Structure 1
């Protein structure tokens, strides 16, 4: 599907029309720094009514501009994105990049990707082992990798491609950069939901050589469990998803599709918490992974 030509994101079922008009759309976003055919940005669209989170459709974007344009054209929404919205305070202070999130993100946004990677490469040189890629406080709490990492799982490149674009678009970025915009963005970590449901069992891989029936069985188990009372006890709702969309989650061995749903689950959970579940003492320079505690 050509995502730049996506229809408006409101999907209204006749028996939900009056309720839906007053609901905030929830997006769960599985992000990539280099979207393309075969490796898209996947956005799950959902809304919550009472104790049910309805997963209504998936959008897939092959370019970064088409994804940001989609977000800018969306109505009031809460988007949970699965990439680091901030960098470690220690890095920002050592490089003297500014005193606020907006300052250093704007500065990074003026670099090319190669320049950004080069800065981090030089920064790591001659630093002792264990002090080359810093962690944010929130990364330590959830067991996430450093947002400085640009090789292997390149979450640093995701930050580079995502955060400056969202700053420029003026989105309400919590807790880093609150604005009056109707599009609110929070950072989520789909692995937290997966761990609750199936532990640390592997359910996805971008490597075709590693994709097997065991991983598919794990995805099927996730889909089964998010409909059960044990899930509702944890998150306050169960998932309503039609068979076609569930099959997309099941049959995507990269896990991008199911991760978009897991991101939407975290966003929906955050929406019912005071301040999205983010502690008042969190470091706004670094940001916060919702559901980190």
Structure 2
């Protein structure tokens, strides 16, 4: 990867606002270090789409699903080609999607309601068909049309501009490796506890020390370290966790960016899972 290629980590919201923005963490890879340059907050989907469409070069890790479970797609009779499936899904109103998904779940036994992608249990990620807590189905529905319109490259799924590489990331995968199942964030102010603050500080300390299996150290200023710890929503920290995953992919390099050869071209894969 060339030294002038930016790294980006994205904590996404399907309904962004000034209170709950999309957060982008920008940085760069310097040998085995990911240097955080800045955080940027985008309060609208339009701003996110405009940024995606602007010239690169960058490699980004994005915290939203890039695909639906094959089992679900086949059961519903939707196209099994990735691009056709995503266009079909994103053209549907959310009320109709919710009804289809609920009917799918209702027909299945307890404990197996949702269909999963091949790597979900490996990564600890929520099923991409889940429409509540967290509503990742709506994140896919909101984000993928913007990603496609911007013409970026989505390795393993859809060819685009090779100077703008978009990978599915998941901050929870890296966070759990660093602090286990401890909770480190909550949007509810009443749940901004000292324990969660300590957990965020522990994540930051572990990232700086490079203790994860990714073998990368995060380089922060004192002000950046404080900002990541103090954001009780965890949005800024999640963007930085995605940034580190993008750094790992950049170090692995093209054309696979660390993605496995066995990747399902309908479901995709979470980078570093």
TM-score, normalised relative to structure 1? 0.87
Q: Distance in 1 between matches of 2:214 and 2:37?
A: 19
Q: 1:99 to 1:21 in 2, by over 3 A?
A: closer
Question: Which residue of 143, 149, 153 maps to 1:168?
Answer: 149
Q: CA deviation at 1:229?
A: 5.1
Alpha-carbon RMSD: 1.8
Partner of 1:152: 133
Q: Distance in 1 between matches of 2:232 and 2:55?
A: 29
Partner of 1:184: 165
Is there any run of 5+ residues in structure 2 with no aligned partner, and where? none
Moved over 4 A (4+): none
> Any conservation in 1 of the 2:105–2:113 contact (CA below 8 Å)?
yes
Aligned residues: 271
> Any conservation in 1 of the 2:52–2:150 contact (CA below 8 Å)?
no
Q: CA deviation at 1:155?
A: 0.8
Q: CA deviation at 1:24?
A: 1.2
Q: CA deviation at 1:164?
A: 2.4
Partner of 1:137: 118
Is there any run of 5+ residues in structure 1 with no aligned partner, and where? 1-19
Range that drifts further, 57-66 or 127-136: 127-136
Q: CA deviation at 1:190?
A: 0.7
Q: Distance in 1 between matches of 2:2 and 2:68?
A: 37
Partner of 1:236: 215
Q: Distance in 2 between matches of 1:212 and 1:22?
A: 40
Q: CA deviation at 1:266?
A: 0.6
Partner of 2:231: 252
TM-score, normalised relative to structure 2? 0.93
Question: Which residue of 42, 53, 56 maps to 2:37?
Answer: 56
Q: Does 1:25 align with 2:6?
A: yes
DSSP 3-state at the match of 1:26: strand
